[in-house]
A and B are shown apart, each in its own frame.
Chain A
Amino acid sequence: MLLEVSGLHAAYGATRVIHGIGFAMEEKSITALLGANGAGKTTTLRALCGMVKTEGQIRFRGERIDGRSTEDIARLGIAHVPDGRGTFLNLTAEENLRLGAYTRRDRAAVEADLERVFGYFPQLRARRAQQAGTLSGGEQQMLAVSRALMLAPKLMLLDEPSFGLAPLLVRELFAILRAINERERVGMLLVEQNAAMALDLADRAYLIETGRVVLSGTAADIKRDDAVRRAYLGY
């Protein structure tokens, strides 16, 4: 198993946000966490990275990672594309990418990965010397995904990659995500409000409501569920 989560609780100060979430992911699989605003999806991702106080167990490739620092979790090979993209706005696009590979010591492989990333997102190559803050929203999202890829991760956590993007761009981005998943053998945990897109991409999905998992199954099963269709897919 790539990731096993059981009985996960998390709180911001005194406010409890998630109450005993559990799920598991196979290596190289794509899992989607669905749910309305405020259901606790973003918090779940933050909890996995040690960015909020948690209780419960989180195992990454069999190893307990709950209670570890964010830096250490990143070093294990979990790359988080956070809510709001987390771009280093005052640095250049290339510097952003190189920071993604900060913990890696295999220089030659880093250079090769940089080229590979530019292969996925050719626009970024043209923008590499530009200040990241001046990039368009779509380019910044590509940069954020690329930065995560530069870590050579085993697992990518993607928080609302479609946020603020035009529908055409979203489709393009999701196609690239699928390509990355297939070629880079990297697992993806996807948080999305755009349930239709997410279910097309994912193998499995979990529906979260008010901090609890209320429904789980393969993406195909979830897509057929009547309640999900009415509430999240809109048909």
Chain B
Amino acid sequence: MTLDAVILQVLAGLATGGIYASLALALVMIYHATHLVNFAQGEMAMFTTYIAWSLINAGMPYWPAFLLTVGIAFILGMFIERIVIRPVENAPVLGVVVVFIGLLVILNSVAGWIYTYTIKSFPSPFPRQPILGIHYISAHELGAIGVTLAVLALLYGFFRFTPLGLAMRAAAQNPESSRLVGIRVGWMLALGWGLAAAVGAVAGMMVAPVVYLDPNMMSGILLYAFAAALLGGIDSPGGAVLGGFAVGVLENLLGAFVIGNELKLAVALVLIVGVLLVKPSGLFGRVYVTRV
């Protein structure tokens, strides 16, 4: 194993890690607001990526289609929260999990119905040639990392510095007090779903040029994102992003040098579970002490 090869794998890992990070971020956002993990997050991302594909195929240039898709995803996310999730707000956790799985199955099936299960190629907005003379990493991979970091920065700014972002954090933490200061908590949840769906859409559009577009493209990625979110600490957005990059690099290094591609998924997961055994609240998660 040469140093060059290692660097190559680390960079490739960072690129895929960026995708995991985006989706993990979406998971963390919904977890933060509702304390639930949205199993349909990956399929929502897949579905919106198909919408982007339709727009681009209809002749729309890439970036307008990208932005329009993010907007559509945002509305779709809010819509799903209001229509599907709202009625089970107070249902037992496992019931909600089944609703999420139902949503997953529906989105997957409808996408297959509309767009068929044949694999489609999806364009990348970045040039084919490596940029800046860096040969270790393709322009798309570099671009995907950049987009991920940009999304993270935007979200950070939104939650940290805007009144709406503050209200969303407040609603997640303490719904009752939030109502007392006039925050419409229900809409904050819907907004959270919308944002998560928008972030997921970005992840979908960034990964589709690599794995190609098909209705099942996100199932493996969701798993990594899930692992990334937990590794970073499920309630920590920054942790989710770092977790995403860590999982991506780990996966690539293990696949290339240790156990081959055959078992890399399994081994990566086992390693993550191993980390969690040592640090059960994730690497950056808060430890909550519960009173008896």
Contact = CB atoms under 8 A, between A and B. Distances in A.
Contact of B173 (A75, A80, A90, A102): A90
A88 B180 contact: no
Contact of A100 (B173, B179, B181, B184): B181
Contacts of B163: 98, 102
A87 B181 CA distance: 11
A88 B166 CA distance: 11
Contacts of A49: 180
Contact of B181 (A69, A89, A103): A103
A91 interface: yes
Contact of A99 (B166, B184, B185): B166
A119 interface: no
Q: Determine the main DSSP class of B at the interface with A.
A: helix
Interface string A108-127: 00000000000000000000
Given A98-B163, A99-B166, A102-B167, A87 B182 contact: no
Interface residues of B, number: 17
A74 B180 contact: yes
B169 interface: yes
B152 interface: no
B181 A99 contact: yes
Given A98-B163, A102-B163, A102-B167, A88 B174 contact: yes
Given A71-B184, A98-B163, A102-B163, A91 B170 contact: yes
Interface of A: 49, 51, 69-71, 74-75, 79-80, 82, 86-91, 95, 98-100, 102-103, 147, 151
A-B pairs, 5 with minimum CB distance:
A86-B177, A103-B182, A74-B182, A70-B179, A75-B182
14 contacts: A49-B180, A51-B176, A71-B183, A71-B184, A86-B174, A86-B176, A86-B177, A88-B173, A89-B173, A95-B170, A99-B167, A99-B178, A102-B183, A151-B181
